[in-house]
Chain A
Amino acid sequence: MSQVLHQAEILETPILRFAGHTFEPLPSGALFWHAQQTLLVADLHLEKMSSFAARGQMLPPYDSGMTLRRLEGDLRRTGAQRLIALGDSFHRDSGTTTLPPADRARLDNLTAMAEWIWLSGNHDPAPHALGGQCLPQLQLAGLTLAHEPRRDAPGLVAGHLHPAAQILVNGRSTRRPCFVHDNRLMILPAYGASTGSINILSPAFVGLFHWPSLEVTMLGKDRLYPVSPRRLVQG
């Protein structure tokens, strides 16, 4: 019994080892880099719903607030000194100007709490002045941080693809966003409240990973679940 408990504890706070560093993944989809006191998040897609409103579809204007509140919680919980957003932080460049006043104030608060680095993504290529620095990509402690994943950069931490895993256990299937990495590349799940996901078995991921060393960590309600790649199914 005690051994089972012990196992459960290990499982609930898994550590991801990648390119010589250790990371703590959070159920929200953020990755805490303890040694650097840095919180990594990908694909916030702030102001996604309001970008639909401009085209006549009045989707609820609450997604930015949800994402920012979640981020605030993670910053407080981890005490991170630095936050690096791995691109597509805004669903489109103009989103930096459409944040509702309350969300704008919340963001100002957050950029004052920690040092912010906004990496550019395909949805938000332009730099902005919302606090912190805007960079195309970044080298940190031997790792490369950038928006789009690629195979030719060992030690790359990226976002962009919104990875999700689907597993089938006892006839029941479950699909959740996930962290996915091998010995060269780590892709973070999309963090934004309005983001969808792509199955890591789909063509978008073909050729990116070395399958035998692949590790998949699914996001649960309030814990993480490492699962064997052999469990994965399409869908």
Chain B
Amino acid sequence: MTDLPPRIADWFASKGWAPRAHQLDVLASWQAGASALLIAPTGAGKTLAGFLPTLTDLIDGDYEGLHTLYISPLKALAVDVARNLTTPISEMGLRIKVETRTGDTPASRRARQRVDPPQILLTTPEQMALLLSHPDAPRLFGSLKRIVLDELHALVTSKRGELLSLAIARLGLIAPAMRITALSATVARPDLLRDWIAAPVPDAAAHLLTAQGGAQPHLSILATDERLPWAGHSANYSHRALYDTILEHKTTLLFVNTRSQAEMLFQGLWAINDDMLPIALHHGSLSVEQRRKVESAMVSGALRAVVCTSTLDLGIDWGDVDLVVQVGAPKGSSRMLQRIGRANHRLDEPSKAMLVPSNRFEVLECEAALEAVEENHQDSEDPVSGGYDVLAQHILGMACSAPFHADALFAEIRRAWPYHDLPRSQFDRVLDFVATGGYALRAYERYARLRLTPEGTWRIANPQVAQQYRLNVGTIIEEPMVKVRLVRGRGFKQGQTSGPIGRGGRVLGEMEEYFFGTLIPGDTFMFGGEIVAFEGMRDNEAFVSRAVATNPKIPSYMGGKFPLSTYLASRVRTMLDSPESWSRLPNQVSDWLRLQQFASELPARDSLLVETFPRGTQNYLVCYPFEGRLAHQTLGMLLTRRLERARARPLGFVASEYALAIWGLGDLSALIRTGRLSLDDLFSEDMLGDDLEAWLDESALMKRTFRNCAIISGLIERRHPGKEKTGRQITMSSDLIYDVLYQHEPDHILIQATRRDAARGLLDIERLGQMLARIRSHIVHKPLERISPLAVPVMLDIGKEPIFGEGRESAMADAADELMKEALSGRDRP
């Protein structure tokens, strides 16, 4: 049993508290000279657990220099923790200086912190990278004893986690006595997280500590007598019931998956808000001031409900939330558990949460999530392994701090967990990329950013390189955004595309630039809780006016960022395959499944059901892989290429989280029946070879992925000393760069980096590969006379979701034919 210093023990006693077991465990690990990973639910007193060793160490208050670094993914969290720490420190009468350092910290204070640091510094991964790029880093961090990493589970799945791991590897060299305490929510593979924190401190053990779980959450699915929609994501049917639920609770957090869902739900609730309840909206497109206003209103208890997206997944403690509602698919069980944890930050009381499916498939997904949560099953993502783009950024940063030997830097980098198996050859290529671009054509030796000195060390070629590095540090790449400004409408007539736009009014917020690329003036969509009409673009601003329409014409639903987890997907497949479990489902859903059994069949657990049927003048192929929209999109792209070669004349496809529908002119059932088309060949894994290559060559998703890698690696600058590029300028040029590079060096280190990202990210090739392997020779074909009940939802998505298909050239051909017809009809022809 660890003894607390009397001053701290007295403080606990004065509060009427006893230190929790896991808080003492963290202290014991520290005193045993070990690092520690503490897995604890929210509300378990994690902050205090993380800092107890520091308070104990600094009880005499005469420590010279920086003792503890606290790193969290959010600025707001750093500020909040500073506040939570200052209170006990002053109540215990300790002389410990605590300071934050974020992008918002004034430059003068940041400069002073480097010379005269506090004992506890609270900061972010980006600030760490910046601090380490200065020549004085060894002096500043030489005294470091502890690093506290907060919300580690959220950091390790992103590039920010890679950047952080590299920074910590450097700290491990500067301050070998340093130990790490990491705090994390419950994850699927805690052992990997422990390895992650053990890697940079090879001499010390790393303990895995688990706090006693809180009370089992009360989780339910909204029961309804309303008709459940077949498709769509608006969950309109639930608004009345949700409103009544908000009335019954003190404060409700309503999570949705996308911004447009947030908009719809917010509008729906206000439409029936007869009691004028303070209900607010929080998502990433709203202006920062607006979001801060909502957050402080929430903290002061002035709100009854907040409709929000993943922007509130992490962050400061709200205190009084007594109900969490998830509207729409929960996507994953760990994700759901973490969202539930946002309610009731008191450990001993159960959190209360409700799931609201927005369509019938989502009923299955919600049911699967409910069971998974009851079993406390985790399906969180594993930590990502190291990207070359982040590595390039780090190598440049290290060169800015001091010249380095390649051998020594390589050994150091391998101590960062994501890079623990980085081959030397890849390291050398990245180093070459940083120095001169890494091209086979050695054209840039004279412009080199890094040069090899006669002593065999690499150093920056000139001070501007460091200046450029510091302006571009970080891994968070914003989509190019445009401001959305409200103006007076012009009263659109169809086809009218020019004319002056009224003078600018207030800015409603920001939105991705590419969204406006698909609009023509007069199109209506929902933004900031109201329906607006697109008026036009000018100077990186989109002008909109208030529209009278009752339904927006353009569904700006762009899918959630997070695909359905593999684990929940397999649970849904199992549920479909076991009719005895359907008694848990609402009647309208189990009836639907029975109809499917009758009209076609149900997808079995380990096979792939493929239905083909005619409808109107076209033929459809619908399959049900349950692998998430991103993997289905990629599958759709590849299948249409193959169907084209098989002369099945495909026209387009639409992908949902659960299914994929492709349509075309060829009679697919007949092609399969007569053996001219084999489904086993169509779905064979070799589509991930040449077909994938041919598509990647021109894929817009690949180009978007490349853009991020190019910016992070420093190939393209976000900011150049003296001027700032707009998103559009970066996007256009990065597409051109991709084209040139892909044609000449498809094996260039940045193309490799892009492929690795694409495999997991926007193209989800990894998951598609696993699915194709699973269903190999397990394809069940059902030729049908007409659409099956299970196909209805995805067929309804046609026209609502973006449609893919060859498009581009054929759109121009159509326009050209039209012009030709017009030209010929206007003439007298013999």
Contact = CB atoms under 8 A, between A and B. Distances in A.
A77 interface: no
A214 interface: no
Contact of B737 (A50, A59, A226): A59
A60 B437 contact: yes
Interface in B516-530: 516-518, 520-521
A161 interface: no
Contact of B444 (A61, A66, A225): A61
A176 interface: yes
A10 interface: yes
A225 B745 contact: no
A224 to B, nearest CB: 8
Contacts of A100: 441, 443
A171 B803 contact: yes
B715 A59 contact: yes
B436 A221 contact: no
A57 interface: yes
Interface stretch (A106-114, A145-153, A227-235): A227-235
Q: How large is the interface on A (under 10, 10 to 19, 20 to 34, 35 or more residues)?
A: 35 or more
B740 A63 contact: yes
A210 to B, nearest CB: 15
A193 interface: yes
B809 interface: yes
B715 A55 contact: no
Interface string A152-172: 000000000000000111111
Given A231-B815, A231-B818, 12 more contacts: A50-B443, A58-B449, A59-B715, A65-B744, A66-B744, A167-B815, A170-B814, A172-B808, A193-B740, A196-B733, A230-B495, A235-B516
Interface string B35-75: 00000000000000000000000000000000000000000
Contacts of B817: 7, 11
Interface of B: 433, 436-439, 441, 443-444, 447, 449, 464-465, 468, 495, 497-498, 516-518, 520-521, 536-537, 714-717, 720, 732-733, 736-737, 739-741, 743-745, 748, 803, 807-809, 811-820, 822, 824
Contacts of A194: 736, 740
A57 B717 contact: yes
5 tightest A-B CB contacts, nearest first: A58-B437, A61-B443, A225-B812, A169-B811, A225-B816
B447 A54 contact: yes
A10 B811 contact: no
Contact of A218 (B732, B736, B748, B812): B812
Contact of A66 (B437, B720, B743): B743
Contacts of A167: 811-812, 815
A220 B497 contact: no
Interface string A50-87: 10011111111111011000000000000000000000
Contacts of A36: none
B465, B520, B716: most-surrounded residue (chain A CB, <10 A): B520
A171 B736 CA distance: 25
Nearest to B745: A60
A44 interface: no
Contacts of B737: 49, 59-60
A58 B811 contact: no
Contacts of B809: 174, 220-221
Given A54-B447, A233-B497, A61 B439 contact: yes
A201 interface: yes
A226 B819 contact: yes
A173 B520 CA distance: 10
Contacts of B814: 169-170
A11 B447 CA distance: 47
B443 A169 contact: no
Most chain B beta carbons < 10 A, residue from A60, A218, A220, A232 = A60
Contacts of A235: 516-517, 537
A57 B439 contact: no
Contacts of A61: 437, 439, 441, 443-444
Nearest to B805: A172
B444 A58 contact: yes
A58 B736 contact: no
Given A55-B720, A169-B815, A60 B820 contact: no
